[in-house]
Amino acid sequence: MNTQDQLKKAVGEKAASLVKDGMKVGIGSGSTVYWLVRALGERIQKEGIHIEGIPSSIQTEEWAKEFGVPLTDFATTKELDVTIDGSDEVDPDFQLIKGGGAALFREKIIAQAAKELIIIVDQSKLVEQLGAYALPVEILPFAWERTAYEIEKLGCVPALRLKEGKPLVTDNGNYIVDCPFEKIKDPAELDQKLQKIVGVVETGLFINMATSVIIGSPEGVSMKEK
């Protein structure tokens, strides 16, 4: 395992240790979350804790099944105790860019449903200003070129995300455009402007949602709270 994977494992395990018996847990997506799901499965097996999770992607759902994490859904559960998820960028105010794994829409649903949003990252995800990572935006396939044209007016050249030469289709049947804004001065304002464009389903900007961040670095794991 390389150093970055070791850090992802460490933060995933730390977050899993914070989950209490009886909790309903939103489970994010990505390679860091993989370690969270694994560690939750271990706790369920060894300690016999009872939790229920709502996954934010088909991939996470598969991991949950693999590691024995019981799942529920929003038909039976409207509120979550905590959501734990990775991130592509985290700024000093805990504003986030997410969506590298194309799961941002469901991730935002489980983030909003939870009392707490714990973000798990290795130190490489910490930035002074959001934007070096191209902002993922989920858009409807219908007239996607027109939606991308409107996004371009906000100051970037959006790129349609491809998979094996074809447009990547999200778990919700939509497309993703990656938007290299480079420096996002006012993430909340940009989010509002993007949300107003017809055809935009959701943005990868998670504004005022994260309540704590668990950071993995070679010196160890630390947790920052708002």
Q: Which residues are catalytic?
A: 107
Backbone angles phi, psi at 53, to 5 degrees: -115, 155
Residues near 71 by Cβ (< 8 Å), separated by ≥ 6?
Answer: 52, 53, 54, 55, 61, 64, 65
**222 contact partners, CB below 8 Å, separation of at least 6:** 214, 215
Of the pair 4, 72, the CB lying nearest ligand 5RP is at: 4
Rounded to a whole number of angstroms, the distance between the first and last alpha carbons of the chain is 32
- By CB under 6 A, residue 102 contacts ligand 5RP: yes
Single out the segment in contact with ligand 5RP by CB under 6 A; choices: 36-44, 74-82, 83-91, 192-200. 83-91
Stretch that binds ligand 5RP, among 39-47, 70-78, 82-90, 181-189 (CB under 6 A): 82-90
Q: Is 101 an interacting residue with respect to ligand 5RP (CB under 6 A)?
A: yes
Q: Is 104 in the site for ligand 5RP (CB under 6 A)?
A: yes
Q: Which position among 11, 14, 26, 29 is part of the footprint of ligand 5RP (CB under 6 A)?
A: 29
Q: Which residues pair with 200 in a beta bridge?
A: 139
Residue with the two structure tokens 């799901």: 37
Q: At what angle do helices 31-47 and 58-67 cross, to 10 degrees?
A: 30
Number of residues that bind ligand 5RP (CB under 6 A): 17
Among 26, 41, 55, 99, binds ligand 5RP (CB under 6 A): 99
Asked whether position 64 contacts ligand 5RP by CB under 6 A, the answer is no
Q: Does residue 9 bind ligand 5RP (CB under 6 A)?
A: no
* Angle formed at CA 199 by CA 195 and CA 201, multiple of 5 degrees: 55
Among 28, 41, 53, 55, binds ligand 5RP (CB under 6 A): 28
* Chain residues that interact with ligand 5RP, rule: CB under 6 A: 28-32, 85-88, 98-104, 107
